[in-house]
Structure 1
């Protein structure tokens, strides 16, 4: 749970680090596109780009995030920041079915193979394990799993890891698991402490650090289409530093050219 929130947090960290980044919003609800403040302005959404994968130009149709206007004054950046979005739309749902053919699974890979300006691609997936998620896995170098410290979320993450192992064997032998991130953790909750211990036991070294704590104003930050790094207050600064650490943990420091799906 909370995949979109983690995607937005990682995108914020990448922007702050000056890493040219593309966010691909595969969820038909397009929440990541909303949180990134995208204005399509005549560009083609990711669903129609997938339909025309042989000739589609994802670089030309990716829309810049509104976060860029606030990042432009960051004196620490040595070059103009890049944060583009292949924005989501309900049309993408035509591919979210369990019987997607192998050639359809490669549609996003075909689009991304023609990109050259991004060092990092973050793919936000819908909450199902149907066609869109498997399409994202096919196009990715690694997969980051997101779980809340609750019974159903932890059990669902374990099932996803098994599904990922089967998918890797059949379709993508080089696909790696970036790990599991615990999200929306409340340290005052005895249930959350118990489930986090359970996650440590179940996932071992695959459970990444840091744990992302629940933030009371997260909905406000997303609703305002702000990067967490640009939001005022100590809580936001702490969350931003956690996403900085998480980004370093899920990307290969020796190879910035990376695609990760969530």
Structure 2
């Protein structure tokens, strides 16, 4: 039995037609995930942390474009910039100075969450920004009571207003990331199709397991998202194959390919779904949104 045959027999809910479909990059038959039905009401939000301790794997790009794609499907989305570098804020054109940021909400329990929320150029997608001040939060939170649960308390105040809350975590496994995991229902791990990115996934999943045991029993791994995939290189194909072999159905079927359109869209402070709506990269993030809704990871 070949590896592809094994994958075909193990995937749940797969019909005969899907077995005959061409294989995608993950070695599984390509599926067309259905366009989700409109929601009859909004909230409470599913909270998803986009997390990987390695930088440059596509966390912020995914936060921006997944949020925009979900908003296209009628979901109300709040993006939380939880990285002191503020890349998510810059990518969505948010103000980061002389405004209330996530740092203020963490350290001042009297701060108004609504004052921190900014609208973006994407209807249905809002953001709470961050700036370099957030880098001092870990020091200030050390002596706080229940310091791992402070972000959860902040998000409870706005959860009823949104369908999805996406937390763009910093590239570390420090107290800010633990806060994000404690506040979340699920974790999405963007994983660059490169060997060194692969090495840290086991450590991250171990951290998620510890948070589940000690702080947040409800947290689940929503999926591992392969990013920066280049089908022309043997290295990308081999890394993706190893990820699927190791993690099976936890690897999402959607794969985000490498393209120069992403940095171009970042410079324009616009999601790829608006910057180049017909490009295959925009469609990939729409497919990601459909797949996560299909899996029940988000509403």
Same-fold call, TM cutoff 0.5: yes
Q: 2:152 aligns with which of 98, 104, 109?
A: 109
1:50 maps onto 2:94 in alignment: no
Deviations 1:127-170 (A, max 9, x none): 00101111100111101011111111011112111111122111
Q: Measure the CA separation in 2 of the matches of 1:193 and 1:256.
A: 28
Q: Measure the CA separation in 2 of the matches of 1:191 and 1:40.
A: 39
1:254/1:195 Cα in 2 relative to 1: closer, same or farther (>3 Å)? closer
Gaps of 5+ in 1: 69-80, 258-262
Deviations 1:6-51 (A, max 9, x none): 1111011022112111100010000000000113575301111110
SS in 2 for 1:184: strand
Q: 2:217 aligns with which of 173, 180, 191?
A: 173
Deviations 1:210-261 (A, max 9, x none): 1110112210111101121112374x2x21221122123334776856xxxx
The two structures have a TM-score, normalised by structure 1, of 0.85
Give the corresponding residue for 1:196. 240
Contact 2:276 2:282 in 1 (8 A): no
Q: How does 1:123-138 map to 2 (within 5 A)?
A: 123-138=167-182
Q: 1:4 aligns with which of 26, 49, 60?
A: 60
Q: Measure the CA separation in 2 of the matches of 1:139 and 1:176.
A: 12
Gaps of 5+ in 2: 1-56
Contact 1:7 1:122 in 2 (8 A): yes
Give the corresponding residue for 1:210. 254
Give the corresponding residue for 1:61. 116
Q: 2:228 aligns with which of 177, 184, 187?
A: 184
Contact 2:97 2:131 in 1 (8 A): no
1:164/1:229 Cα in 2 relative to 1: closer, same or farther (>3 Å)? same
SS in 1 for 2:200: helix
Give the corresponding residue for 1:231. 275
Deviations 1:161-217 (A, max 9, x none): 111112211111111110100000000011111111101101111000111101122
Q: State the aligned residue count.
A: 240
The two structures have a TM-score, normalised by structure 2, of 0.75
Q: Measure the CA separation in 2 of the matches of 1:111 and 1:209.
A: 33
